[in-house]
Amino acid sequence: MTGGGFIELDRVEKVFDVRKKTGFLRWERRQVRAVDSLSFSVARGEMVGYIGPNGAGKSTTIKMLTGILTPSGGRLRVAGIDPSRERTRLAHRIGVVFGQRTTLWWDLPLIDSYKLMHRMYRIPDARYRSNLEQCVELLQLDALLDVPVRQLSLGQRMRGDIAAALLHDPEVLYLDEPTIGLDVISKARVREFLRELNTERGTTVLLTTHDLQDIEQLCSRVMVIDHGRLMYDGPLAGLHEAGESERTLVVDLERELPPIDAPAPARVVRVEGPRQWLAFPAAQSAAPLVARIAAEYPLVDLSVREPDIEAVIARMYADRATA
Amino acid sequence: MAEGLRAYGLIVAMWIRSTMAYRASFVMTTVGNFAATSLDFVAILLMFSRVEALGGYALPEIAFLYGLSSVAFGLADLAIGSMDRLGRRVRDGTLDTLLVRPAPVLAQVAADRFGLRRLGRVTQGALVLGYALTTVDIDWTPLKVLLMPVMLLSGAVIFCAVFVGGAAFQFVAQDASEVQNAFTYGGTTLLQYPPTVFGKELVRGVTFVLPLAFVNWLPASYVLGRPYPLDLPTWVAFSPPLVAVGCCALAGMAWRAGLKSYRSTGS
């Protein structure tokens, strides 16, 4: 865990003192370990999904990475900078988007917020213009620049916030729930943009989300955190194996039939009229199973459903809890 | 410091533009601010319809104290008066969005929700001070003339320090904005009356503990040629700038401690 990574965490801890009222003027002090000996490294240009249930320590980690919170222990570096000690120096090199807290100026046209970023970050004029142009084009903000932020829809505002976080050319972008509350089209647009940002500019992206489609569509690497500890760190596919997840084959037959006699470990899990659902291991190819059914049954249509990562993670937690 | 002032200026400019997005509302709130703060002086006028003097001070002298206190406080209130909202920012987590910016947090919080409507109070105080200066009987010397702007400026800085100190306290107690108001708005109301109407303990408190007496009571006593409260020596009338610097140092330390505690505990 030394050198190499753009973001480096080595046994980072964060302990909070929580005071709980137990009676009139009586308080009980309790220590909560929000982040517990967390170590990982993210290389420049990676796009990483950071997931876990509420209160798992995701936000605390992001706050330490941005210099908002000071770690209680361990070593943490972003671009070689200790975030808590050199918060303002780091600020020039990172971009942060808090999904539920806009940094845009409510009563002013969108462009005014960008002008403030221009001056506050001391972005060279040419740089600012070209970055703004690029963001406006890719995020389709053209018609919105002169609209007061309060009149923007949630999706438009989120796009506006993302642009605001990128005008100073950050090397790393942290996104906290970037697609929360957005409609399908807005989500797609945001994801498309992030993908381009990552491939074109090589910006390192770390995003926390509850929307697992974000991860599926964007991140080659996933980190799962729970109770302040890293539970999983690796490719998305591996997460399925770790959770022993299953894919589902949905077949539509010509008519109602008794459950299909499938070769184990595949099995019918649900029958509804002529439609049947078969579960089979995610790691296994669907082809032999499909071929077999097509040969023996009057098949009209079929589709394969990928496993729900949420379920996978839930199962993973359950495994760890009983282990 | 320069970086902080620059950020403060940038953010204040944004708030002024936001305010100007609703011009009619701005005019109304400014007039409202003027009217509401004027009521304090109306109350004093009402008292003087019954009595000749208050604590041995005639109306022009009281107006002098009132004007000095209102202008000094009004300037501080205008500059950083919205700092009492810090507790709310801590509670709802929006303080974090300021901590990821490349500018001192104090400057950003000080400029937050900059309210140009607060010019109402400054204007009102200046008018009363103007009235006092034309009616009060002062034996002007160059030193007294010089003391006037020094007094107003030092007073504003002392009140600013109280705002910052109060905001620092809100890192720990997030719903303490009312406590802070007791010292800021309460403090200026106190200073609108002569020290002679208050008990000695209270006067001691605002001289040695929370040094609001240096905003107007002590320097104004010199200008008016009045005996000093607590029989303090003459030179203390010229100490407000030093007191202001001391207050800023203390408030700065409190702010650092508050921010440090926030960054180690979060919200």
Q: What is the pLDDT at residue A123?
A: 97
Split at pLDDT 50, 70, 90, the class of B23 is: very high
Token pair belonging to B221: 């006593």
Asked if the Cβ–Cβ distance from B17 to A69 is below 8 Å, we say no
- The torsion angle over the Cα atoms of residues A83, A89, A93 and A98, rounded to 10 degrees, is 60
Q: What is the pLDDT at residue B266?
A: 61
Q: Which of residues 54-113 of B touch A (CB under 8 A)?
A: 93-94, 96-97, 99-104
Among partner residues A87, A103, A120, which is closest to B97 by beta-carbon distance?
A103
* Shortest CA gap A122–chain B (Å): 10
Q: ipTM of this complex > 0.90?
A: no
Q: How far apart are CA B107 and CA B182, in angstroms?
A: 23
Chain A interface residues (partner B, CB cutoff 8 A)? 16-17, 60, 63, 66-70, 72, 84, 87-89, 91-92, 94, 96, 98, 101, 103, 105-108, 112, 116, 119-121, 148
What does the pLDDT look like over B119-159, one tens digit per residue? Answer: 999 999 999 999 999 999 899 999 999 999 999 999 999 99
Chain A residues whose CB is inside 8 A of the B264 CB are 69-70, 72
Cα B46 → chain centroid: 25
Search chain B and give the residue with CA nearest A71.
B264
Q: What is the pLDDT at residue B199?
A: 92
| DSSP assignment string, B154-208 | HHHHHHHHHHHHHHHHHHHSTTTHHHHHHHHHHHHHHHTS-GGGS-HHHHHIIII
What does the pLDDT look like over B59-87, one tens digit per residue? Answer: 999 999 999 999 999 999 999 999 988 99
Query: Does B209 touch chain A if contact means CB atoms closer than 8 Å?
Result: no
Give the number of other Cβ atoms within 10 Å of residue A236's Cβ. Answer: 17
Among partner residues B17, B102, B260, which is closest to A120 by beta-carbon distance?
B102
**pLDDT by residue, tens only, chain A of 323 residues:** 445 689 999 999 999 887 777 777 777 888 888 999 999 999 999 999 998 877 788 889 999 999 999 999 999 999 999 999 999 999 999 999 988 888 999 999 999 999 999 999 999 999 999 999 999 999 999 999 999 999 999 999 999 999 999 999 999 999 988 888 888 888 998 999 999 999 999 999 999 987 878 888 899 899 998 888 998 899 887 776 766 677 888 999 888 888 888 888 888 888 888 999 988 887 788 888 888 888 888 888 988 887 766 677 777 767 666 65
Those residues with Cβ within 8 angstroms of residue B36's Cβ, 6 or more apart along the chain or in another chain: B120
Mutation test of the interface with chain A: which of B100, B114, B263, choosing the one with the most A Cβ atoms within 10 A?
A: B100
Q: What is the pLDDT at residue A1?
A: 41
Supply the DSSP symbol for A306.
Answer: P
Search chain A and give the residue with CA nearest B105.
A88
Q: How far apart are CA B12 and CA A264, in angstroms?
A: 70
Query: What pTM value is reported for the model?
Result: 0.85
Q: How far apart are CA A143 and CA A137, in angstroms?
A: 10
* Residue pair A224/A52 in contact by the 8 Å Cβ criterion: yes
Asked if the Cβ–Cβ distance from A98 to B22 is below 8 Å, we say no
* Shortest CA gap B108–chain A (Å): 11
Give the strand order in the sheet containing A275-281.
A267-272, A275-281, A246-253, A299-305
Lowest pLDDT segment from A304-308, B91-95, B96-100:
A304-308
DSSP E strands, chain A: 7-23, 26-42, 47-51, 73-78, 94-98, 172-176, 204-208, 221-226, 229-235, 246-253, 267-272, 275-281, 299-305
Among candidate residues B221, B161, B191, B197, the one with its CA nearest the CA of residue B70: B191
* Pairing of the two strands A246-253 and A275-281: antiparallel
Q: What is the pLDDT at residue B143?
A: 95
